[in-house]
Structure formats: C-alpha cells, structure tokens
A = this chain, B = another copy of it.
C-alpha cells in the first residue's frame, strides 16, 4: 500500500531527481523506428545508441523499462527538452495519473494494472511529440505486444501516421487492458455471490473485502484516465491531429465504460458485504433456534425426573412423595413427560421453528 503515495522529502528542491527504491534487475531500452515503408527495432544500451538507430526514420518509439537509472532519465530530458518537474514525476512512481502539455511535447502518466495473486499497479509515463514517443515503465510485461506486431507488419494505418497516433494506440491498449482485469473481478463477484447464498464462510468475507479494496485502486486509476483522455481530445496545439482525435473519442468511450463498470462492481461488492452479514444473521438465528428448541424441550423433563429423584422419606409422612409407591407412578410420570415434550414440539412447530 505504501506505493500509492509519493515518496518525497518535504522541502526538497523541485526537479531534483532521486531514484525510487524499487528497482528492476536490469534496465532495458527498446527502440522501434519506422516510416511508411521501413521498420528498425533493437535493444540498445544507451541513449546515444538509440539516437543513432533513430536516424531519419519518420517516427521513433523509445521504450524504457525500469526507472532507477537517474542519469539516463536526465540525458533523455536534456536531449528532448523535457521539463524537470515531469522527469521528477517519472521517478516518483505512485503519481496520480495526469497530463501536462508543453510546447513541443505532451507528458502523460497513467496506471497499468496487473492482476496476479495480488493486484499490482505500475506507473506508465509517456512523452510524445510529432516524431518521438518515449515510454517509461517500471517492470517487464505490458499490453503493447499487439502494437509492436502492427508496426512490424505494417497493418492498419500505424506506419503512415505520426507520434500522436502511436501514443493514442498505446493509451488505447493500456485502457483496453483494464477490461480483462475487470472481467476477473466480475467473475469473482458472481462466484462469491453464489457461495454466500449457499453458506457464508469466513474466507468469503476476506474475498469480499479484497474485492472492495482492489476496486478502490482500480477506480483510482480509472477516473483520472478518463480526464486525461478527455484533455487529450481538447488539446489545441497541432501535436494531436484531428484524425487521431476521432480515435481518441472511441478510447474516451472505453474509459467511461471502465468507470461505469467499476462503479457498478463497487455497488455489487458493497451489496455482498450486506449479503454476508444478513446470511450470517440468518445462520445465527437457525443455531439459536436449535439450541432453544433442545433446551426448552428437555429442561422441563429433566426437572420432573429430578423431582422423583429426590430422597424425601415416604415413611416419615404420607405427604412425602407418595407417588413413588403408586402402582402407576412411573408410567404416569413418563406419560406426563411425553405430553410436555409433545406440547413443546407442537408449540415450536406452530412458531415455525422446527
């Protein structure tokens, strides 16, 4: 949970770049450059190698995995004229998703969700200008393989468009990657619901709580994404073409739908907690009824048996337990007990308890 908030030293100079503590083993720089008719792609070791590769290609995508190499980030910033505050945000992972417009590039921070045994939130930083797209991820693994494939194959309009279209494609893919995560939660909710109506086990409580908590994190990603995509559509500078904006309208619809689903799931999971409590109350009621019925039937009977277990001396007086010497004493006592028991059972049947 500590990752959800920025790690800063209060009063630190703005723009002072400090590497975050989480580190991937090995920083990776992957460069893809392409134009309408050609593609070049390589893992490079430094910024200068990357720049050499890019050459005069129409569009270049520099994809950095790992955020602990402060020096590289600084070089990128210096070479492409990125703002120091933006670079600071790249390193301070755990930022709220946001968008910032600069003169010749746009800076976007979004959240990628990975659902393994727990929900992992990864910061995705994106700079894009007319010809260059720089992405910085925290960990290996992203939902962009399909895009890489499309660049390589030249399918669709990817290769003929500029950096803004690539940026749109990345944002769209990231937003779409939320669907499978949500679908998983949807299935969990449905599963837990059925289980709860069958039997309110305590581990279900934990699951419900986890779903509720995780959906809070998903929501914290989904709401700002919508704002970001909306802001991208309203950008007036020529950095985003009108063509791309039409596609962004579609992505915006997706973002709205994601939020819609998240809110619905939150409502549903809230209902699950109610269901758990109600179901538990009902169980408790059942348990109490069994106890009450058992106790109410047998306690009076045991009392009667106790009466005739007393040792008052029948010889000292005729009033002392004459029943013990009656010929029908025992059968009458048993019969009385049976009558009481039957009466109780009838009473509880009428009450609907048994």
A interface secondary structure, majority: helix
Least CB distance from A128 to B in Å reads: 17
Q: A95-B257, A247-B14, A324-B312 are in contact. Are A2 and B183 (CB under 8 A)?
A: yes
Taking CB atoms, residues of chain B closer than 8 Å to A306 are 301-302, 305-306, 309
In the complex, residue of chain B having the shortest beta-carbon distance to the beta carbon of A272: B209
A90 to chain B, nearest CB (A): 13
Contact A173 B11 (CB under 8 A): yes
| A261, closest chain B residue (CB) | B5
Q: Is A117 an interface residue (CB 8 A)?
A: no
The reply on A26 being an interface residue by CB < 8 A is no
A323, B312: Cβ atoms closer than 8 Å? yes
Place the interface of chain A in its size category. Answer: 35 or more
When distances are taken between beta carbons in the complex, the residues of chain B under 8 Å from A285 are 280, 283-284, 287
- Separation of A83 and B324 alpha carbons in the complex (Å): 96
A143 contacts partner chain B, Cβ-Cβ < 8 Å: yes
- Cβ of A87 to closest chain B Cβ, rounded Å: 12
Q: Could you say which of B156, B256, B257, B311 contacts A324, with CB atoms under 8 Å apart? A: B311
* A2 touching B186, Cβ below 8 Å: yes
Interchain CA distance A253-B235 in the complex, whole Å: 19
**A330, B319: Cβ atoms closer than 8 Å:** yes
Beta-carbon contact of A299 and B310 below 8 Å: no
**Cβ of B216 and Cβ of A268 under 8 Å apart?**
yes
| A6-26 near B? 1/0 per residue, CB < 8 Å | 111111111110000000000
Stretch among A33-41, A58-66, A72-80, A145-153 lining the B interface: A145-153
Q: List 25 A-B contacts (CB under 8 A).
A: A5-B179, A6-B254, A6-B257, A10-B173, A11-B150, A11-B177, A85-B246, A96-B260, A100-B249, A197-B206, A197-B209, A216-B264, A216-B267, A277-B278, A281-B284, A284-B285, A287-B288, A295-B295, A295-B299, A298-B300, A298-B303, A302-B303, A312-B323, A319-B328, A320-B330
User: Which residues of chain A have a CB within 8 Å of any CB of chain B?
Assistant: 1-2, 4-16, 85, 95-96, 98, 100, 143-147, 150, 155-156, 158, 169, 172-174, 176-177, 179-180, 182-183, 186-187, 189-190, 193, 197, 199-200, 202, 205-206, 209, 212-213, 216, 220, 246-247, 249-250, 253-254, 256-257, 260-261, 264, 267-268, 271, 273-285, 287-292, 294-296, 298-303, 305-314, 316-317, 319-321, 323-331, 333-334, 352-353
The 6 residue pairs across chains A and B that have the minimum distance between CB atoms: A11-B146, A305-B306, A317-B327, A11-B173, A308-B310, A10-B176
